[in-house]
Amino acid sequence: MDPSKFKYSKTHEWVNAEDDTATIGITEYAQSELGEIVFVELPEIGISFSKGDAFGTIESYKTVSDLITPISGEVVEINAELAESPEFVNESPYEKGWMIKLKMTKLAELDELMTAQQYENAPKEH
């Protein structure tokens, strides 16, 4: 796991692509803006999403937000541990806090995402 090699979305999700599988989570910035997370709701395996779809919700003491997928694909795995331990997203957003794995259907969408460097320098919006 090397977040400097990940791709990033304007909505503060990260994508780690290996072959045609993409692991998705939210960024350090996103978790720090949300504060202590209490619920993470994830989709069932087998559901397909298009880029920009909400694939779940994340709720903290402060607020509730949709989780947006930055790429299209079918859910092949979810991080079931987050149901019991949503704090993993706060403590380890790039590793233990991963959310879903998608089998990508449009690999070219990866090129539309930001690099770690670009994300770092991008103006942050809530």
Q: How far apart are CA 55 and CA 103, in angstroms?
A: 14
* Binding flag, residue 36, another protein (CB under 8 A): yes
Tell me the per-residue interface mask from 82 to 111 with another protein, x by CB under 8 A, - otherwise. -----x------------------------
* Binding flag, residue 1, another protein (CB under 8 A): no
Q: How far apart are CA 68 and CA 13, in angstroms?
A: 7
Dihedrals φ, ψ of 88, to 5°? -55, -30
Residue 8 near residue 121, CB atoms below 8 Å: no
Residue 69 near residue 99, CB atoms below 8 Å: no
Q: Looking at beta carbons only, is 48 or 63 nearer to another protein?
A: 63
* Binding flag, residue 81, another protein (CB under 8 A): no
Q: How far apart are CA 115 and CA 65, in angstroms?
A: 24
Tell me the per-residue interface mask from 39 to 78 with another protein, x by CB under 8 A, - otherwise. x-x---------------x-x-x--x-x------------
Residues binding another protein: what is the number (CB under 8 A)? 10
Sign of dihedral through CA atoms 116, 76, 49, 36? negative
Closest approach, Cβ 57 to another protein, in A, equals: 7
Q: Interface with another protein by CB under 8 A: which residues?
A: 36, 38-39, 41, 57, 59, 61, 64, 66, 87
